[in-house]
Structure 1
Amino acid sequence: MNYTQKSRIEQITDSTLIVGIDVAKETHVARAQDHRGIELGKRLIFDSNHRGFEALHTWIKELQRSYNKTTAVVGMEPTGHYWFTMAHYLLQKEITTVVVNPAHVKKSKELDDNSPTKNDIKDARVIAQLVKDGRYSEPNILTGKYAELRVAMVQRERLMRSLIETKNQVHNWMDRYFPEYPTVFKDWEGKASMITLKNFPLPQDVVNLGIEGIVTQWKNEVKRAVGAKRAIKLVEAASISVGISLGQTMARREIEMLLEQYMLLTKQLDELAQDVVTILEEIPGAVQMLAIPGLGWITVAGFLAETGDLQAYHHPQQILKLAGLNLKENSSGKHKGQTRITKRG
């Protein structure tokens, strides 16, 4: 389908069955109508499983036969992630699937009955009406390497959030049990610092081990060992620490678990980065994009994970609108408002 509203309206003809679906987590509601807005058949309430999807497919085909409709367009709100499986199912059945903006559904629900009432049955009807008027867009469902890339980047975002949370928890632990620690190690993620937090994290542990013991442990695990000056500074900081001295057994256990989480997350991120780079090497144009100064694999992968195959776009403006970077203007009469980006992808 084309992306202009005129083209979208023209693609809804008298032989088109329009279906609006209100998507929920477990149970969905579908209503059908023709290109004039006249409702066809009875509404369908079905579950979000294979049996429910089969019932939807059968219902659509029966309505097409009953009302002599050669094509069908199914519209739905992109509600969270609940619509993904249904959209994939319908596309596999070669049924055109489109999405409508939830903001449009909210703003137009009073047009038919002049009532702010909201329920699943009404929303399904509103969605179908929006599709009839061409106020829909095609979902950007990726396939092949682009689908792999999107899943990978979603996983990376999740891992990064977890890593940031873990780092914040480590800082929280330091503030409680060893607030002077950052004065010795500005970067707690360094090798010597990690050895310290793993083996003798509390001020009392540092004092008991002593300068020589600390240097020995550092030299055993770090090729380029940290010198005695750093050990002296660490012992001095520990000896005057105002950190909490209660519950030390579980405090050691807490930092141990946090470091394990940190190491696991960094390992997973490194492995995922290798996978993403491998995928990018197989995508046309990605290598050339990586050659542009200032563009790294994260930027290129994130961009392609959202856009998919760039050859599917007919105009650069489509990508701008997808990103919400298209411009808006607020002017009336002699008033000339500022032009800003819409931030609506």
Structure 2
Amino acid sequence: MNRKKTNRIEAFRQLKTEIRNSQRHLIVGIDIAKDRHHAFFGTAYGKTIHRRLVFENTSQGFDNLLAVTETHLKSNGLDIPVFALEPTGNYHKPLGEFLIRRGFHVALTSGVAVNRNRELLDGRWDKNDTKDAANVADLVSQGKFLFYDYPCPEVRELQDLTSLKIKLKKLEHGLKVRIRNHLAAVYFPELDRYCVQNSALSMNIVRKMLDPREIAGMDFHEFCQLATDRDRGLKQQQRLEAIYEAAHRSVGCVLDFRGRP
């Protein structure tokens, strides 16, 4: 852990102990969106200073946020701003980095806590950008906030790549399920059981020779060559034999490409 992150953690712990009923802190609750954000300015002891500031998700918008913050600090005799964000997808990250790089306190609020606190504040369940910003600020005044983790660029890049890989794997899995349900189930239903055992082999068969009658019309060696170019072990060979035999007695619908462009 580098020294800069250690200092941020220590500052976070100190903020946790000092924030309740503090006479020094200006709490800026921010409801995050894609294009523009809503900010609420208040104190830790419940005073509302500025109910609604809408600023763009741009450098000019961020500068405007800091300018308004500085004005409220001076006019209300406060000296420590705390910016609180409710994470929304990845839309909060540019603003979070902007503020952290300038040395400000940045806190996160849990989405679960925000939803629960919303009902306690005014008995409502619906979302409202202005009130949600006040909700976020209220949670911080209670000390109910989380540390904003801001790792080094190398770690962040690794995290982003890992997250992207997970999303792509989920997308890949979803597409394979659709292929099984909408193609294999119609034209070669006997192939479905092998989709679980060897997904790559089954998808290759769907791509190259979905019609089981086409498989039945070729010899076994030709089928194996088309199905996979990998070294086939005993289990793979047995699986190919089973699929080949299943193709000869398949009950799948006739796959007719006539009339297609």
Compute the TM-score of the two structures, normalised by the length of structure 2: 0.75
Secondary structure of the corresponding residue to residue 29 of structure 2: strand
Of 68, 84, 87, which aligns to 1:59?
68
User: CA 1:124 to 1:246, structure 2 compared with 1: closer, same or farther past 3 Å?
Assistant: same
**Equivalent pair of 1:20/1:124 in contact (CA under 8 Å):** yes
- Residue 53 of structure 2 corresponds to residue 10 of structure 1: no
CA contact (8 A) 1:74 1:98 kept: yes
Runs of 4 or more, structure 1, over 3 Å off, are 1-7, 102-112, 114-118, 181-191, 193-201, 210-215, 217-236, 246-251
User: For residues 241 and 3 of structure 1, do their structure 2 counterparts lie closer, same or farther at Cα, with a shift above 3 Å needed?
Assistant: farther
Aligned to 2:77: 68
* 2:72 counterpart SS class: helix
Q: Which amino acid aligns with 2:86?
A: E
Q: How far is the alpha carbon of 1:238 from its aligned partner?
A: 2.3
Q: SS state of the match for residue 180, structure 1?
A: helix
Report what 1:174 is aligned to: 184
Q: Residues 36 and 195 of structure 1: is their aligned pair in 2 closer, same or farther, counting only changes over 3 Å? A: closer
Name the SS of the counterpart of 2:106 in structure 1.
strand
Alignment equivalent of 2:99, drawn from 90, 94, 102: 90
Q: Which amino acid aligns with 1:26?
A: D
* C-alpha distance in 1 between matches for 2:196 and 2:43: 67
- Give the drift of 1:54: 1.4
SS of equivalent residue, structure 2 residue 170: helix
What residue is the counterpart of 2:211 in the other structure?
202
- Alignment of 1:141 with 2:169, yes or no, is no
Does the alignment pair 1:153 with 2:171?
no
After superposition, the CA RMSD in angstroms is: 3.8
Is residue 9–residue 133 contact of structure 1 (8 Å, CA) maintained in 2? no
The unaligned stretches of length 5 or more in structure 1 are: 252-345
TM-score normalized by the length of structure 1? 0.59
Aligned to 1:29: 38
- Aligned position for 1:43: 52
In the TM superposition, 1:1-345 aligns within 5 A as 1=9, 8-11=16-19, 13-41=22-50, 43-109=52-118, 116=124, 119-172=128-181, 173-181=183-191, 187-189=197-199, 196-211=205-220, 213-214=222-223, 217=225, 221-224=229-232, 234-248=243-257
Report the Cα distance in structure 2 between the residues aligned to 1:110 and 1:185, rounded to whole angstroms: 47
Name whichever of 135-144 and 49-58 sits farther off: 135-144
- Corresponding residue number in structure 2 for 1:327: none
| Cα distance, 1:121 vs structure 2 | 2.2
The one-letter code sitting in structure 2 at the alignment partner of 1:214 is F
CA distance in 2, matches of 1:204, 1:194: 17
Gaps of 5+ in 2: 1-8
- Number of paired residues? 248
CA contact (8 A) 1:23 1:77 kept: yes
Report 1 or 2 for greater relative contact order, CA contacts < 8 Å, sequence distance ≥ 6. 2
The alignment partner of 2:146 has SS state of: coil
Shift of 1:82: 2.5
| Overall identity of the aligned pairs, in % | 25
* Cα offsets for 1:310-338 (capped at 9, x unmatched): xxxxxxxxxxxxxxxxxxxxxxxxxxxxx
CA contact (8 A) 1:206 1:234 kept: no
